[in-house]
A and B are shown apart, each in its own frame.
Chain A
């Protein structure tokens, strides 16, 4: 019986075939995406842009007169606020932006205060404002 049968191959032959297959496949997977992998992908830019978009939406609330008044009453420095905002994680920013979007456009001073309070807690700025002077005096 000389017809080829898988079992009739010698052990070394099988090892050679297998290792050739492994080499071939790994080389192929390495080569094909190489040209694409070099490009800057959409996901990276998308993450940057959505962060910027969230920051812009939060900023648009902070620019409102009632928000600016409340912040100055709390004694929060706008520059400091901006600086801390850069440290927020993407998820925290997204959450704040969603809240900013849900605020009614015209009135709703209370809604703005809730928003500011959440913002200040997230930014860990309560201790340095005079909202809670008792906390500040404890330092």
Chain B
């Protein structure tokens, strides 16, 4: 027989409270944005009035135009409009922007939204203008704010620079799970970029538009995070893929310096050195790799590959590790 103790009753009360919370959840949530400036408007944002297609193509053409890609909303209809779903899928929008060799970076909360606007980046947002159970999806572009962020300015449907109260806007945005994106001109990074998400975004760009498209963004990222393990390691791989061996080695060296206990940079360095005929350096990197907590199989595999490497004529970098 079930004997409910006091703790169990507490759990039941807790569950009841949670149900209540789930029911009232998102509606009460409209915190005021934290921003220092009173108003800001991103300049030179193109405008495409549109009522059809959930405004997806128009909103995308707007942010692309702002990132230096001249494209009409009509051209984008075929790419992002899915007739059978009667909608533009967010994923198609992002893919269409990447195909035009532009970095797409997510904007997931209010702080990131205002930081982007202050950096003169218009933000493509997805909204749900109706209820969660019967959604009406809509795409718009936030181009600025006024009144200390209590009002946002949007290019939406057929209206240019329409104003909307923050409270109302943030509810429609929250119902679309805070989905938003900035599209960046070559070589520019968003103010809220973090190495982890940036590397992810750059890998996705490389996947759809090739490594050359990602190069200007990599260059900027390399100077912004000279001591970040992940970023420098991934940069090394990017450069290696572009057959810039000397620069790739430098990036991996920076990654190894940032986190000497990690196996991956030493692994790639050892192979790159060996390929260049720099046996002393390759052995040095191998020693370092040996001191990491890499598994025996991985170490054995690396040793095997090192021994099998046929060196080219040696022009070795200085040993500075």
Q: Which residues of A contact B (CB under 8 A)?
A: 35-36, 38-46, 49-50, 53, 104, 110, 113-114, 117, 130-134, 137
Contacts and interface: CB of A to CB of B under 8 A. Distances in A.
Contact of B241 (A36, A49, A104): A36
Nearest to B6: A133
A40 B199 contact: no
B200 A134 contact: no
Given A39-B268, A134-B2, A134-B5, 20 more contacts: A36-B240, A38-B271, A39-B240, A39-B271, A39-B272, A40-B267, A43-B203, A44-B264, A45-B233, A46-B199, A46-B203, A46-B230, A53-B196, A104-B31, A110-B21, A131-B8, A132-B8, A133-B7, A134-B3, A137-B3
B237 A42 contact: yes
Interface string B146-163: 000000000000000000
Given A113-B14, A132-B8, A134-B2, A49 B237 contact: no
A49 B265 CA distance: 14
Interface residues of B, number: 31
Nearest to B202: A42
B212 interface: no
B23 interface: no
Main DSSP-derived SS at the A contact region:
helix
A46 to B, nearest CB: 6
B237 A39 contact: yes
A38 B272 CA distance: 10
Contacts of B8: 131-134
B264 A110 contact: no
Chain A CB within 10 A, most for which of B4, B14, B275: B14
14 contacts: A35-B275, A39-B267, A39-B271, A41-B237, A42-B238, A45-B234, A45-B264, A46-B196, A46-B200, A46-B234, A113-B18, A114-B18, A132-B11, A134-B3
A137 B305 CA distance: 57
B241 A50 contact: no
Contacts of B5: 133-134
A134 B4 contact: yes
Interface in B195-209: 196, 199-200, 203
